[in-house]
C-alpha cells in the first residue's frame, strides 16, 4: 500500500467513533481489530517463514491470562507452606507483562519445536496449545479453571494530571486501531529487513538458505518471538476489553479462524491478514443477523476454506493485484 493511501485509510478508520454511535457495530469492529492483530502475527510465521503453526491461539491465551493475572494479582502455593504471590499491578504494566510472557513462551516453543518441520511441526504446535489449555482448565488455584477470571480491570492511563480511561468502546476502538498500526509497522520493518529476507529465503528453499549461511533456526525463532508477542498483545487487549477470561480462549477453533483469515486474505502479503481478518471478523455477525445457526455458520466457514484453497490458492489480495495489473495492461494489449 502506498504511504499516502495508508494515511487516508487510518485517518478514515480513526474518525469512525466520531460519526458512528452504534455500540454494537463498534464492538464488532473492536473484536475484528483484535483478531486482525492475531492474524497479522500468525501471518508472520505462516506467510513469511512458511511454518504452519496451529498452536497460535496459545500465545493469544497466554497474553490474555498473564495480563489478567498480573492486573488482578494472584497467590499460589508452590509447596504446602511456601506461597508465591503478586499484588495487583496497573493494567498497562500487566499488558506489557502479557506481551513479554507470550514472547518468552514463543522463544521456548520456537527453540523446541523447530527441531522438526512440516507435518510434525504442525502437530507439535497443536499439542502445545492443547497442553496450555489443559493447564488453564486444571490449575484452578491460579486460573480459576472453568470458573474463569472475572472483574478484570479496564485499562486506564494517567499521564500527569490527565487520566485516560479505555473503559468505553470509542476509546478502546482507537486503542485497538493504534495497536494494529504499530503491529503493521513492526511487521513491515521486519520483513523488509535483512532478517525478513532471511525468513523469506528459508521459506522458499530451506536447504539453499542454509547453504548460503543463513542460520535457519535462529530466524525462525526470531519470527516466533515477534509473532508470539504480537499475539500476546492481541490477547491482552481482548482480556481487558471483554474483562473475563476462561480456558475456552484456547480452543482450536480460534486458531482455525486466524488461519482462515490469513489464507483467505493472502499469506505472505502485508495486507492479506487485514482483508481476510475484516471479512471473517464481520461475516459471523452478518450470518448471525441472518438468523443462521452457529453450526451452519461453521459449515459455511469450512466450505469457504476449501473453496479458497481450490480457487484462490494465493488468497484475495494477490488475486486482486493480478487482476488490477491485467486491467492496466489491457489497453496496451488492444493496440
Partner 1 sequence: MDQLLQHLLNATVLGGTYALLGIGLTLIFGIMRVVNFTHGELYAFGAYCMYLLVMLLNVNFFLAFFLAVALGAALGGAIEILLLNRLRGADIDTTMLVMIGAWIVMQNAEQLTWSGVALSVNSPFPADPLVLGPMSVSWNRIYVFAVAVVLIGATYYFVNRTRLGKAMRATFQDRDTAALMGIQIDRIHTATFALGSSLAAAAGALLGPVFVVTPTMGDLAASKAFAIVILGGLGNVVGATVGGFILAFAEEIGAGYISSGYRDAMGFVLIIFILLMRPTGLFAQKERIG
Q: Residues interacting with partner 1, by CB under 8 A?
A: 50, 52, 112-113, 115-124, 126-128, 130-131, 134-135, 137-138, 252, 256, 259, 263, 293, 295-296, 298-299, 301-306, 309-310, 313
Min separation Cβ 309 and partner 1, Å: 5
Contacts 24+ apart (CB under 8 A), 198-204: 199/48, 199/49, 199/223, 200/48, 200/268, 202/49, 202/50, 203/48, 203/49, 203/50, 203/268, 204/50
For partner 1, which is the closer residue by CB, 17 or 110? Answer: 110
For partner 1, which is the closer residue by CB, 9 or 303? Answer: 303
Min separation Cβ 118 and partner 1, Å: 2
For partner 1, which is the closer residue by CB, 45 or 274? Answer: 45
Distance between CA 226 and CA 232 in Å, rounded? 10
Which one, of 264, 268, 294, 266, lies nearest residue 279 by Cα?
A: 264
For partner 1, which is the closer residue by CB, 108 or 188? Answer: 108
Min separation Cβ 292 and partner 1, Å: 11
Instruction: Answer yes or no: are the C-beta atoms of 235 and 102 closer than 8 Å.
Output: yes
Find residue 83's DSSP bridge partners: 77
Site of grid cell 503478586: 86
For partner 1, which is the closer residue by CB, 2 or 207? Answer: 207
Instruction: Answer yes or no: are the C-beta atoms of 180 and 37 closer than 8 Å.
Output: yes
Min separation Cβ 179 and partner 1, Å: 28
Min separation Cβ 164 and partner 1, Å: 41
What does the buried/exposed string (b/e) look like for 153-175 if buried means 16 or more CB atoms within 10 Å of the residue's CB? eebeeeeeeeeeebeebbebbbb
Min separation Cβ 8 and partner 1, Å: 34
For partner 1, which is the closer residue by CB, 41 or 125? Answer: 125
For partner 1, which is the closer residue by CB, 8 or 208? Answer: 208
Cell numbers for 250: 484456547
Min separation Cβ 229 and partner 1, Å: 21
Distance between CA 223 and CA 42 in Å, rounded? 10
Amino acid at each position: 500500500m502506498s504511504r499516502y493511501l495508508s494515511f487516508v485509510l487510518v485517518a478514515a478508520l480513526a474518525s469512525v467513533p466520531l460519526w458512528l454511535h452504534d455500540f454494537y457495530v463498534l464492538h464488532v469492529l473492536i473484536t475484528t481489530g483484535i483478531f486482525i492483530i492475531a492474524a497479522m502475527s500468525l501471518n508472520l510465521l505462516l506467510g513469511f517463514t512458511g511454518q504452519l503453526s496451529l498452536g497460535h491461539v496459545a500465545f493469544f491465551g497466554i497474553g490474555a491470562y498473564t495480563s489478567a493475572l498480573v492486573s488482578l494479582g494472584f497467590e499460589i502455593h508452590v509447596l504446602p507452606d511456601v506461597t508465591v504471590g503478586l499484588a495487583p499491578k496497573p493494567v498497562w504494566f500487566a499488558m506489557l507483562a502479557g506481551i513479554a510472557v507470550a514472547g518468552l513462551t514463543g522463544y521456548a516453543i520456537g527453540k523446541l519445536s523447530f527441531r522438526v518441520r512440516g507435518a510434525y511441526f504442525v502437530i507439535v504446535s497443536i499439542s502445545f496449545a492443547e497442553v496450555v489449555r489443559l493447564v488453564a482448565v486444571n490449575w484452578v488455584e491460579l486460573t480459576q479453571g472453568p470458573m474463569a477470571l472475572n472483574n478484570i480491570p479496564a485499562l486506564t492511563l494517567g499521564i500527569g494530571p490527565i487520566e485516560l480511561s479505555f473503559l468505553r468502546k470509542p476509546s478502546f476502538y482507537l486503542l485497538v486501531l493504534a495497536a494494529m498500526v504499530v503491529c503493521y509497522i513492526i511487521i513491515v520493518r521486519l520483513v523488509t529487513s535483512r532478517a525478513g529476507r532471511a525468513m523469506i529465503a528459508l521459506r522458499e528453499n530451506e536447504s539453499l538458505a542454509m547453504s548460503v549461511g543463513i542460520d535457519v533456526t535462529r530466524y525462525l525463532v526470531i519470527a516466533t518471538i515477534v509473532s508470539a508477542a504480537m499475539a500476546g498483545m492481541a490477547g491482552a487487549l481482548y482480556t481487558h476489553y471483554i474483562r473475563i477470561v476462561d480456558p475456552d480462549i484456547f480452543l482450536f477453533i480460534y486458531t482455525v479462524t486466524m488461519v482462515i483469515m490469513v489464507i483467505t486474505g493472502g499469506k505472505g502479503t502485508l495486507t492479506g491478514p487485514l482483508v481476510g481478518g475484516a471479512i471473517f471478523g464481520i461475516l459471523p455477525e452478518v450470518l448471525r443477523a441472518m438468523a443462521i445457526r452457529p453450526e451452519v455458520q461453521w459449515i459455511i466457514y469450512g466450505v469457504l476454506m476449501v473453496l479458497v484453497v481450490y480457487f484462490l490458492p494465493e488468497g484475495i489480495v494477490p488475486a486482486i493485484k493480478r487482476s488490477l495489473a491485467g486491467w492496466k495492461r489491457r489497453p496496451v494489449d488492444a493496440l
